[in-house]
Amino acid sequence: MIGNVLRWLNDPDNWNGTQFTTGIWAQLQTHLLYSVIAVLAALVIGLPLGLAIGHTGRATSLISGLNAVRALPTVGVLVLLVVIIAPHFHGRTSKGYIIPTLIVLILLAVPPILSNTYAGVQNVDPAVRDAAYGMGMTGPQVLWRVELPNSLPLIFSGLRSATLQVIATATIAAYVTLGGLGRFIYDGLAQQDYPQMISGGVLVAALALIADLVLALVQRYTVSRGLTKRFSKSTVGGAVAADLEEAGVEHT
């Protein structure tokens, strides 16, 4: 079986496509496009909302409300939305399927981003916030210069989990006639072509891992070292070394 999967993945025709089939490269692009649009849209919705709720402490019930959305069965919602939306489009267009798919993916991605952003802002040490206002920062300055940078580790973890979920779930686009890596899974299943089906799953997993790796790298270069506590070797041991130094400097 593993040999068959490898053989399927090694076939250049499967990557580039033939005149009857769409290749892996093309489906990968489609899959990535849906995922990127969904995650970006979720970011545009979730990040400002999370920052605003966290900063003001108002409308916190929205967070738990939106978390409940996570419990919705994805395929069910997709089918429902297609039934509602698709009839409004006529002619040679797949918008009637693309829009429901994107809505479902966005619904999936907003809660982790929103609740993590909110939690990140909420978790900022009250003494730090107090000091920020006490130094003379305005509300927006506290948000941008203190709360946002200090929430970044949690925001990134929300973004990464949303991305993983979206990439895995974007396979359902194929369920409603669209492309993406889900195509190989549904087609493989229908044709009892298990090497193709398994390959589709492997490709989705690989894409998710690569996306996570890229985000991890971005995180590494945007989050302050003061928060990640990745200190250079000369100062390893952080506070312990500091204590010793203080003892040496001051107790004389």
Partner 1 sequence: MIRFDHVTKRYPDGTVAVDGLTLEAPTGRITVFVGPSGCGKTTSLRMVNRMIEPTSGTITIDDRDVTSLPPHELRRTIGYVIQHAGLFPHRTVIDNVATVPFLLGTDKKQARARAAELLERVGLPAHFARRYPAQLSGGQQQRVGVARALAADPPVMLMDEPFSAVDPVVREQLQDQFLQLQEELGKTIVFVTHDIDEAIKLGDQIAVMAVGGHLAQLSSPADLLARPIDAFVAGFVGRDRGYRALGFARGAALPTTPEPTVRFGERVPPGGLEEWTLVVDDTDQPQGWLRSGPSGSPPGSPIDDAALFRGGTLATQGGSLRAALDACLSSPSGRGVVVDGDGRLEGTVHLDAVTDLIASRERAEVTGGADG
Tell whether residue 57 is a contact of partner 1 (CB under 8 A): no
Tell whether residue 225 is a contact of partner 1 (CB under 8 A): yes
Tell whether residue 226 is a contact of partner 1 (CB under 8 A): yes
Tell whether residue 218 is a contact of partner 1 (CB under 8 A): no
Tell whether residue 61 is a contact of partner 1 (CB under 8 A): no
Distances in Å between the Cα of 170 and the Cα atoms of 93, 98, 138, 174, 241 are 19, 11, 42, 8, 49
Tell whether residue 249 is a contact of partner 1 (CB under 8 A): yes
CB-wise, 59 or 227, nearer to partner 1? 227
Tell whether residue 239 is a contact of partner 1 (CB under 8 A): yes
User: Rounded to a whole number, what is the distance in angstroms from the first to the last CA of the chain?
Assistant: 73
Q: Judged by CB under 8 A, which stretch of 43-51, 63-71, 73-81, 221-229 contacts partner 1?
A: 221-229
The residues of the shown chain that bind partner 1, judged by CB under 8 A, are 125, 127-128, 130-138, 141, 146, 149-150, 224-227, 229, 231, 235, 238-239, 241-243, 246, 249-251
